[in-house]
Structure 1
Amino acid sequence: MAVVRWILGRLILTLNWLFTPRGIKRSAEDQSAVDAKTANLSLYQYEACPFCVKVRRAMKRNSLKVEIRDAKRNETYKSELLEQGGKLKVPCLRIEENGETRWMYESSDIINFLEQNIAQTA
């Protein structure tokens, strides 16, 4: 089973690389405003997870710079996700606003949040 997962993971990453979406072109001022809004966001993910790839592609399409944290290869991020977020599930968007931290787990919810609250407000 591990071999099948490895092969499928490499296939997903290869296809993602071949068909990488283009980002939105913004003025430097608008992009700086968007970058400021994404400064308080972190995406916990696994590199070859198809749902994580889906979220990263949406971030690329919208030219969003969100910190990527690989919870599979980094034990610190893995323990943060489990202890603070409550479950070891990816993708997970950590949102820090007004001194509070929220954890968002579903890829479609994450994409909707990014597109409605960050990308469209520029």
Structure 2
Amino acid sequence: MLIKALRLVLGNTIVAADYLTRPRKLRRDAASQQRVDAAAAGLTLYQFRACPFCVKTRRVLHRLNVPVALRDAKNNAAHRDELLQGGGKIQVPCLRIEQDGKVQWLYESKAIRGYLEQHFAA
């Protein structure tokens, strides 16, 4: 019971700190942002709301101004099952990349952040 309460407080603190210190979004001209939006249409991030590694990944998404569908793999059984069936394990963050009819599941926050920087940084 005490550990659950501690996790809840710590998780909410992490989320609040993220919100209060969120980086500025990258500004692009309209045509460039449309290209980013189109490229991001095939991306889905499976995550837990208060996971520190997920927070770091969402911060990069926010900073790079990349709209990615977020899936709660902790509180949504369907999303959790999708992650397990598609990626092979329940580990977050996990970026599902669908491109040219092929699907890749990218685990590890550092690898995901590297992918995002490579494909969406100015």
Question: Normalised by the shorter chain, which TM-score bucket?
Answer: over 0.9
Separation of aligned partners in 2, 1:43 and 1:110: 9
The answer to whether the 8 Å contact 2:23/2:62 transfers is yes
Match of 2:70 in 1: 68
Q: 1:20 aligns with which of 6, 22, 29?
A: 22
Separation of aligned partners in 1, 2:13 and 2:69: 24
The CA deviation string for residues 3-36 of structure 1, in whole angstroms up to 9 with x for no partner, is: 1111110110110111111101111111000000
Aligned residues: 120
Q: Which runs of 5 or more structure 2 residues have no equivalent in the other structure? A: none
Normalising by the residue count of structure 2, what TM-score does the alignment of the two structures yield? 0.95
Match of 1:10 in 2: 12
Spell out the pairing of 1:1-122 with structure 2 (5 A cutoff): 1-120=3-122
Q: Percent identity?
A: 47
Q: For 2:28, give the aligned amino acid.
A: R
Normalising by the residue count of structure 1, what TM-score does the alignment of the two structures yield? 0.95
Q: Which runs of 5 or more structure 1 residues have no equivalent in the other structure? A: none
Structure 1: 4+ residue segments shifted above 6 A? none
